[in-house]
Chains A and B, each alone.
Chain A
Amino acid sequence: SQKIEQNSEALNIQEGKTATLTCNYTNYSPAYLQWYRQDPGRGPVFLLLIRENEKEKRKERLKVTFDTTLKQSLFHITASQPADSATYLCALVPSYNTDKLIFGTGTRLQVFP
């Protein structure tokens, strides 16, 4: 079956440390993968998009990697801050001939002072 799995347990880290979130997918061959942030009671907000031919993408304190062999994407937040506390969702377009976004299970990140 097709699955997009993220760390189900909440990730708690101390301010200033690097948070690393994992997204693993099964039975998909996505050309692109996206990461979103969702705060409680709000809609997701787009963060980064990475293509299959890009190993790494950066935006300010954010970094995303995409390994199509491992079928995995890693999302890093460096110098984390309490304001980074939220749920982070990875999402992918299932195949080249579809135009819809399927979301992973999400990981709740808590950054404490």
Chain B
Amino acid sequence: GAVVSQHPSWVICKSGTSVKIECRSLDFQATTMFWYRQFPKQSLMLMATSNEGSKATYEQGVEKDKFLINHASLTLSTLTVTSAHPEDSSFYICSAAGTGESLYNSPLHFGNGTRLTVT
């Protein structure tokens, strides 16, 4: 149980274009989803917290107009990288906590990430 599916697993796009990444909870409902970014040989950096039916909360230094997050249902959150540039190339990973679960006593369930390469 607690499977998170992320799509696509990799994408190559040209500079200036936009890319959408989907994150789905397959067998549970997720009120809250989290988007992380990971550069090579570095740890996961939290970008934003996505709440179903409301605006996402972005971490300091993350441009909300560049990284658009939509959490329209209890099983789907999307991250759109707008006007992508080579420096946006990274590994993007989503995660979800089940509805009613708190990080104080429950783990996060992670997708397998999306490798974005901007040329």
Interface residues of B in 1-60 (CB under 8 A from A): 4, 6, 32, 34, 36, 42-46, 49
| Interface size range of chain B in the complex | 20 to 34
A96 to B57, CA, bound (A): 18
**Shortest distance in angstroms between B103's beta carbon and chain A's nearest beta carbon?**
5
Given contacts A51-B105, A89-B43, A99-B103, 4 further A-B contacts (CB under 8 A): A41-B112, A43-B93, A101-B103, A103-B45
Q: Kindly list chain B residues whose C-beta atoms are within 8 Å of the C-beta of A104.
A: 43
Secondary structure of the A side of the interface?
A: loop
Across the interface, name the chain B residue whose C-beta is closest to A30. B104
> Which of A31, A89, A99 is close to B32, meaning CB atoms less than 8 Å apart?
A99
Taking a contact as CB atoms under 8 Å apart, the answer to whether B6 and A105 are in contact is no
Report which B residues bind A (CB closer than 8 A): 4, 6, 32, 34, 36, 42-46, 49, 91, 93, 95, 97, 102-113, 115
> Which of A34, A41, A44, A93 is close to B44, meaning CB atoms less than 8 Å apart?
A44
**Shortest distance in angstroms between A6's beta carbon and chain B's nearest beta carbon?**
8
**Shortest distance in angstroms between A66's beta carbon and chain B's nearest beta carbon?**
14
> Which of A43, A93, A101 is close to B113, meaning CB atoms less than 8 Å apart?
A43
In the assembled complex, A32 has its CB within 8 A of some CB on chain B:
yes
Q: How many A-B residue pairs have CB under 8 A?
A: 62
A41 to B111, CA, bound (A): 11
Taking a contact as CB atoms under 8 Å apart, the answer to whether A106 and B103 are in contact is no
4 closest Cβ contacts across the A-B interface? A43-B110, A46-B107, A103-B44, A105-B43
In the assembled complex, A100 has its CB within 8 A of some CB on chain B:
yes
Taking a contact as CB atoms under 8 Å apart, the answer to whether B105 and A44 are in contact is no
Taking a contact as CB atoms under 8 Å apart, the answer to whether B43 and A103 are in contact is yes
